[in-house]
Structure 1
C-alpha cells in the first residue's frame, strides 16, 4: 500500500485550534535522544511524560503527540507499522529522527511496538520500564485505549475529518497488530512477553523498572539529574475516569469541523451558482429582448 501523502490542515478546522500540521517527513534530529521509556501504555506513561519534561527531557513523545497535538505524525507511524508488520518499505534511524528528532525522550504507544528497533537506533539512551499489576492494567486498558481503538464514532469521524482520517487507521493497525488480533484475549500474555523481551534487550545497568508512586528519587538517580526543588509533587495525569469523556469531546469537535467545512464549501458553491445565473440572465436575457 502506498504511503499516504501529507496534506495541510484545512483552514475550516476551527474547532480543533490546537492541532498543528507539521510534516515530520521534512524534519531532522535537533536534540539528542536520551530516554526510551518503553513501558506499555496505562502504566503511568502520561504522568511520566510530564515528569520527564519537568526534569529537562523536552520534548517527550507520547501517543498524545500524534492523536491531538500533531496528527500528521500518524502518517509516519503508519509507514513504520507497514514496514514492521507487512514488510512494506523500510523504517530506520533516519525516519525515527524525522518523526521525533525534536524529542529527548519517548514513551507510551505506539512507540512500544518498536521497542527493539528503538533500542537499536538509540543505544546511548537510558531505558525506563513503567509497569503495574497485569490484571489492573488489563482492566484499565479495556475501558480506555481498547475502547478508543474500536469505537464506531471515531471510525465515522475518520471518513470526513482531516485529523481523524490519519489517526484512526494508524491506531487500528497498531492495536490489531501488536495484540495479535485480539486484545481482550491476548493482552495479558503479550504483556508478559513484551516485558520479558525488553529486559532481554537492555543491559541491567541501563534499565530502570519503575512503578507510579515511587516518586522522584529513583527516577532522578537513574537519569543522573537533581530532584526538583521545593517539595514538588510527582505529576499524576490522564486518569481513567476522564479518558472516555475527553475522546468523545474530541470526536464532537472534529465533526463540528466537518459540518463547518461543508457549510463554507456548500455556501461558496451556492454563491457561485447564484452569481453565474444572474450574469447569464443579465447577458442573454437582455440580448433576447433587444
Structure 2
C-alpha cells in the first residue's frame, strides 16, 4: 500500500535500535556517485562495507530499510506504486528524499528501479556485482526468498512497528520483481536483468565485479587509492542470514510483549483507580444516608 502516513517509533520499542527518520521530509545532502545495481546475494553486503571503507558515505542497502530505518519502507512502497501500479509519481525529487544521505546505493529493493536510478543520476558510475546464476539461485532460496515468505515475520508484522513497515514492502518487491514465483522465475529474471543493464549502460561507465577480485578492479574503476593494509570485506554469509533474521523476529516480538505489558499495566492502574473512586463515592453516599 502506497502513501501511508509516517508514524513515529513507539517508545516501548526497547528491544530494537531502529531510527525513525521520515525521509519524505529529507533532501539530498551529498552527491550520488555509485549505483551498485547487482542483484542481492552477489556480494552486495560486502560491497557496501568496501564502499564505506573507500569513503562513500553512506551506501544504501536493504538493511537500511529492514533493520536501520524502517520508515524508509513507506517511500519504497510509494516507488512500487508509481512504477507497478500507476499510482502517483516517483522521480528525482523523491529519490533525493529517500537516498539523499547516500553517495552510493546497492542491493534490493533498489535493483527494481535500476533504469529509474540511472536516469535520475546519470553522472554516477554503475557497478554490477554478479555470480554464477545457479549458485546465486540456491543461495537466495535459502535466504531472502525464505525471508520474504517467513510466516513468523508475517505474524510479527501484524503487531510490531518496524516489522509492520518492512514485511509488506519486502513482499511487494519479491512479488513484482520475481513474477510472484522466485523458485520458478528467479533464474530467468536474473539473466534478463543483467542482459538489459549490459545493453543500456555505456561500457566505460560499467564495472562487472565478482567477489574475490579484491580491491584492484574496484578502486581502478572508481579512481580511488587501494586501502593500505585492508583486506577486502566478506560479510552476510548464508548461514548467518537466517540466524540474524530470527533474532530480529524475537527482538520485535519482545517489543510487542513489552508494549502489551505497559499498556496492560496502565489499564490495570486506571481500573484500580476507578474502583477506588467508586468505593469512596459509595462510602460518601452511605454516610449521607446515615
Same fold per TM (> 0.5)? yes
| Alignment partner, residue 3 of structure 1 | 3
Partner of 1:245: 243
Equivalent residue runs for 1:89-108 within 5 Å = 89-108=88-107
Find the counterpart in structure 2 of residue 208 from structure 1. 207
Q: Give the aligned length.
A: 288
**Structure 2 match to 1:139:** 138
Instruction: Using structure 1 for the length normalisation, give the TM-score.
Output: 0.98
Q: Is the 2:2–2:77 Cα contact (8 Å) retained in structure 1?
A: no
Aligned match of 1:262 in 260, 263, 282? 260
Q: Secondary structure at the match of 2:208?
A: strand
Correspondences of 1:36-51 after superposition (within 5 Å): 36-51=35-50
What is the alpha-carbon distance in structure 2 between the residues aligned to residue 44 and residue 2 of structure 1? 30
Separation (CA, whole Å) in 2 of partners of 1:203 and 1:283: 82
Match of 1:72 in 2: 71
Alpha-carbon offset, residue 286 of structure 1? 1.7
Distance 1:96 1:129 in 2: 20
SS of structure 2 residue aligned to 1:117: helix
Matches within 5 A, 1:1-290: 3-16=3-16, 18-230=17-229, 232-290=230-288
CA displacement, residues 103-149 of structure 1 (integer Å, 9 cap, x when unaligned): 00000000000000000000000000000000000000000000000
Deviation at 1:268, TM superposition (A): 0.3
SS at match of 2:11: coil
**C-alpha RMSD of matched pairs (Å):** 0.8
Aligned counterparts of 1:61 and 1:128: Cα–Cα separation in 2 = 14
- Normalising by structure 2, we get a TM-score of 0.98
CA distance in 2, matches of 1:190, 1:126: 23
Tell me the distance in 2 between the aligned counterparts of 1:234 and 1:109.
22
Whether contact under 8 Å (2:2, 2:74) holds in the other structure is no
Moved >3 Å (runs of 4+): none
> Any gaps of 5 or more consecutive residues in structure 1?
none
Counterpart of 1:127 in 2: which secondary structure? strand
Helix, strand or coil at the partner of 1:194: helix
CA contact under 8 A between 2:2 and 2:78: conserved in structure 1? no
**Separation in structure 1 between the aligned mates of residue 88 and residue 131 of structure 2, nearest angstrom:** 35
Distance 1:40 1:55 in 2: 21
Structure 1 CA distance for aligned equivalents of residues 59 and 9 of structure 2:
23
The CA deviation at 1:2 is 5.2
